[in-house]
Structure formats: C-alpha cells, structure tokens
Amino acid sequence: MSRLAGIIGHPVAHSLSPDFQEAAFAHCGLDVRYERWDTPLESLKERVAWLRNPSVVGANVTIPHKEAVIPLLDELGGLSARIGAVNTIVNRSGRLFGFNTDGPGFVAALRNEAAFDPAGKAILLLGAGGAARGIAFALGEARAGRIAIWNRSPERAYRLLAELSAVKVPADWQAAPDGWGYDCIVNCTSAGMSGGGAETEPVCDFARSTPSALVVDIVYRPEVTPFLAAAAARGLRTLGGLPMLIYQGALAFELWTGVAAPVDVMFEAARKRLGQAHL
C-alpha cells in the first residue's frame, strides 16, 4: 500500500511541491504519494493529528501554518525552535518531529547553484518576516561575516536583530535598501511575486553595489522578477527562488526517507511544471 506525504497550508493549489516530490519518490523507487492538503486554521489540529497514521511519512507546512503547528508536535529539531517556525513534519512511529529546511535550503542553493559560500561574507537581507528569519539563522550557522537587515517596519527588524544577537550571529540594521558594500543581497519580501500586488515595486538601489555581488530573490514565480532584472541590468550576478524551493524540498525528502534526494530530477519536474503554467 502506498504511503503518503503532502503539503499543509491554505491555499495550496499553487504549490509546486507535489510535482517535484512525486518525481523524486518515483525516481528512487519509493511507493509514496504526495498530495495537496488544503487546511484552514480551524482544521489544523485535526490534520496534524492525522499525520500520526502509520501510512503517513510526513508533511511540508506552508503559509499560514508554519508557527501554528509547533504546539501540535512532539519535538523540534534543527533550527526550527530557534526560528519559531516549522516547514517539515516527520512521522517517526507516531511521534511528530518538526524541522525548518527553508534556511538550510537557501544556503545549499547559494553553494550549489551560485558557487557562493556565505562564510565571512557581508549579506544584506531585505525583509524581516518568516523567510528572512529562517535565512538569517541559517546564514549565521554558515558563519556569515555580517548580516544586515532592512525592513519597511524597523520594529520587526529590531526584534529579529535582538534574537540573532542572543545567539551571537553578527547582525545590524540597514537604514535604507542600498546595496553598497555587500557580497550578497537577498530579497525576502513579496515584492515582485506574481499575484502579490507589488509586482513592479522597486526594493533595492543597485547603483552602488559591489560589481561582484550576488543578488538573490527567493520568489520563484516569475523566474526573473523585477528585482533580479534590475540587478542584471547593472551587470550583477543573479539567482532566482527556484533553487531554494528545490533544496528545502530535498532536505525534507531526506528527513522522510533517509535516501539522498535526486535534486536534478526535482529541478526538471519543477521547471516542466513552471513551463506548462506559461502555456
């Protein structure tokens, strides 16, 4: 009998995860079916309890439930407790373990797809929400030399800076979204996301950016966001959001199965799906 995995969120109809996770399970000869589990908040407790079923290997968790699932789990692993958010649940003999693979997936994308090692580097994060939190803590673990944070709401950025300081991650406030002096600039806001309502909104001034800087947008749809297009127009290297999505999913796959994720297969399936969406 097939075992199950899926993605929990509301809504989840747009998610690419089923496309590349199913391809990965099939490639590895694993009898696991991956589904979309649209779950309103009022149904979250029941949905998470159902994950204890022996037929379920685990789940991904997306907006808006990454924080709300935590009290429903038995134990937290990796960076999830520090970040205060879970995006992967693993069922181990009826006990539910929560992990956060977003930040580690981002770091893996930098290293594997852009040949960029964060160690010792100066990195500017634009935004201070859940995605930025996970990325900031993962960059700290990767020994980034300096992390600067800019956010439209300074109070939110200051809260994140205080948490990073408590675990001795070198971080400071950036008063304006100016790319001067950074090795890597990362857009963690929703600006530029299809359907986000701010598709053409400028986020950063690249006029003074270091010529060798890497510019990253964690948005994967569209593949080339206005943020990345503006950086490329200045001759800067860019990396879109799809690699982070794939590598966080690959880490989740390995937590569920103990099998090395077929990353190339996952990329191929995701790109095929994105290509079909433009037809």
pLDDT at residue 197 in the model:
46
**Identical fold between 3-100+243-277 and 103-240:** yes
pLDDT at residue 254 in the model:
98
Average pLDDT along the chain: 92
Between the alpha carbon of residue 141 and those of residues 3, 54, 117, 146, 187, the distances in Å are 34, 34, 12, 12, 20
pLDDT at residue 29 in the model:
98
SS3 readout for 46-74 = HHHHHCCCCCEEEEEECCCCCCCCHHHCC
Q: Which long-range contacts (CB under 8 A, 24 or more apart) does 233-238 make?
A: 234/206, 234/207, 234/209, 235/211, 236/206, 236/209, 236/211, 237/114, 237/212, 237/213, 238/214
pLDDT at residue 145 in the model:
95
Distance CA 134, CA 163 (A): 12
With both helix axes pointing from N to C terminus, report the angle between 17-27 and 242-257 in degrees, rounded to the nearest 10: 50
The 3-state DSSP class for residue 206 equals coil
How many Cβ atoms sit within 10 Å of the Cβ of residue 228? Answer: 22
Is residue 143 within 8 Å of residue 85, measured between CB atoms?
no
CATH architecture of 103-240: 3-Layer(aba) Sandwich (3.40)
pLDDT at residue 176 in the model:
83
**DSSP structure class, residue 5:** E
Q: Which residues contact 255 (CB under 8 A, 6 or more apart)?
A: 58, 88, 90, 99, 101
The residue among 137, 152, 143 whose CA lies nearest residue 106 is: 137
**What is the percent of the chain with per-residue pLDDT over 70, rounded to a whole number?**
95
The first and second tokens of residue 138, run together, are: 């993962």
Is residue 161 within 8 Å of residue 172, measured between CB atoms?
yes
C-alpha count within 13 angstroms, C-beta hemisphere, residue 216: 30
What residue segments make up the domains of the chain, in order of their start?
3-100+243-277, 103-240
Q: Is the peptide bond before 222 cis (omega within 30 degrees of 0)?
A: yes
In this structure, are strands 95-99 and 88-92 parallel, antiparallel, or unpaired?
antiparallel
- Predicted model pTM: 0.92
Helices (H), 66-214: 80-83, 102-114, 130-141, 154-166
**DSSP structure class, residue 269:** H
Mind telling me the catalytic residues? 66
The strand order across the sheet containing 95-99 reads 32-38, 3-9, 56-61, 88-92, 95-99, 75-76
Give me the CATH topology for the region 3-100+243-277: Rossmann fold (3.40.50)
Distance CA 179, CA 209 (A): 5
pLDDT exceeds cutoff 50 at 196: no
Over the stretch 150-194, which tens digit does the pLDDT of each residue have? 998 889 899 999 988 887 888 999 888 888 999 999 999 876 544
Over the stretch 92-119, which tens digit does the pLDDT of each residue have? 999 999 999 999 999 999 999 999 999 9
Q: How far is CA 186 from the centre of its chain?
A: 12
